[in-house]
Amino acid sequence: MTLVQLGIPRSLDLRDLPRAEIPGLYVHIPFCFHKCHYCDFYSITRQTEERMTRFIDLMLREAELWRDLRVKPKTIFFGGGTPSLLPLEQMRRLIEGLRNRFDFSQLNEFTVEANPATVSLEYCQMLREAGVDRLSFGAQSFNPSELSTLERHHNPDDVPRSVEIAHRARFTRLNVDLIYAIPGQDLASWSQSLERAIALNTPHLSCYGLTYEPNTPIAVKRRLGLLQPAEESLELQMLHHTRDCLAQIGKPAYEISNYATFGEECRHNLLYWNGSSYVALGPSASSHVHGTRWKNRPHLGEWEASITAGERPAVDIETLTPLQRAGELAMLQLRLSAGLNFDAFSTQTGCDARTIFADQLQRLSNLQMIEIDERGFRLTNKGLNVADAVASEFLAPSE
């Protein structure tokens, strides 16, 4: 058995990777105005225009360092951080530069995350002209006191204003992100935020339960007893209320936290949940290429130093064994309402899910956590309440 088969970390040699095309491109823009208290994405809050200009230069150099991989994006996602914080000319230069370095001929979705407090018509028009066709706005809540608990620096009215501007710039594919189970939030207050988001009539909504990521200010406050997290039973009520409400208006859940009108699902995120390959640019961004995954150096200065030295900034490189890959794929696909399809799974992994997960399938269906039919299996409503625990059962398939 080789080191690669054992899944032992090693250095990244692009020649070890299959030559198949890579359909996803993620671009991490690590700048924010201010650090929201629940956020553990890598970003810095003090940046100058010079640093952002230099950042784009280096981003384009990083794109060149990955050119030997056959990145032919069907989907692109600019996340962060706050991508829309890049000055207009720098954003335009970044998009054009990527277009010159990768083959965009198969592109069928290009999303940019945008901050509702700063969106302008001119900026949206530039994005649309540059080929962006989907915007995602971080609304999180329409209640000012909940926004302040999260340390979000925008006003609830910024969200409808941004959606309107996006429409004027000819965007139709829009997403609004919301967070529930915020300390102090009750079901009525969550319903009001959800209703305000529904009223915007965007084809896609993401609704996440608040998580207390280690070392974030909100997790520290919780540890110190400075805030009271929502009861688990309330959080589940909010989850099921959201699913019912959005299903009734034709935006059913297609993933645990994501809701869309048919055809408006986020294709880029589906690519993650379906175990496809993607390359990510920028500090701390994670890539996965045909079973090998890595992370980019997690700090801006280290990432800049790697690129300046002409080195790919990859660390924590790991190649999964076929069984590990199968386990991870099952775990990811359980997040989807469609669940895992036996035939597609076997084509993709070479493994028969009915065999390698025989124990799990029997046990979890006896517990009514999953439902199984001839096509595949998926979470039940009961399983949804403990989705992470159910998914983790699939991490250890049998040989």
Residues interacting with ligand SF4, by CB under 6 A? 32, 35-36, 39, 41, 43, 80-82, 138
Name the residue nearer to ligand SF4 (CB basis): 32 or 391: 32
Name the residue nearer to ligand SF4 (CB basis): 80 or 339: 80
Name the residue nearer to ligand SF4 (CB basis): 118 or 348: 118
Compute CA 350 distance to the chain's CA centroid, rounded to the nearest angstrom.
Answer: 27
Running DSSP on this structure, what letter comes out for residue 336?
B
Find the shortest distance in angstroms from Cβ 388 to ligand SF4: 21
Find the shortest distance in angstroms from Cβ 163 to ligand SF4: 18
Find the shortest distance in angstroms from Cβ 210 to ligand SF4: 12
Running DSSP on this structure, what letter comes out for residue 31?
B
Token readout for 368 is: 């009514």
Token readout for 214 is: 């280690």
Name the residue nearer to ligand SF4 (CB basis): 41 or 342: 41
Q: Residue 93 and residue 57: Cα distance in Å, rounded?
A: 9
Residues in CB range of 40: below 8 A, 6 or more apart = 213, 214, 215, 216
Residues in CB range of 177: below 8 A, 6 or more apart = 136, 137, 138, 139, 140, 205, 206, 207, 208
Name the residue nearer to ligand SF4 (CB basis): 138 or 160: 138
Name the residue nearer to ligand SF4 (CB basis): 36 or 390: 36
Q: What is the DSSP string of 255-306?
A: ETTEEESTT-S-HHHHHHHTT--EEEESTT-EEEETTEEEEE-SSHHHHHHH
Token readout for 116 is: 């509702």
Find the shortest distance in angstroms from Cβ 292 to ligand SF4: 27
Name the residue nearer to ligand SF4 (CB basis): 30 or 339: 30
**β-pairing verdict for 286-289 and 340-341:** unpaired
Name the residue nearer to ligand SF4 (CB basis): 81 or 376: 81
Number of residue whose CB is nearest ligand SF4: 39
Q: How many helices (H) and strands (E) does the chain have?
A: 17, 15
Task: For residue 334, list its beta bridge partners.
Answer: none
Find the shortest distance in angstroms from Cβ 80 to ligand SF4: 5
Residues in CB range of 154: below 8 A, 6 or more apart = 115, 116, 117, 147
Find the shortest distance in angstroms from Cβ 44 to ligand SF4: 10
Find the shortest distance in angstroms from Cβ 89 to ligand SF4: 22
Find the shortest distance in angstroms from Cβ 142 to ligand SF4: 16
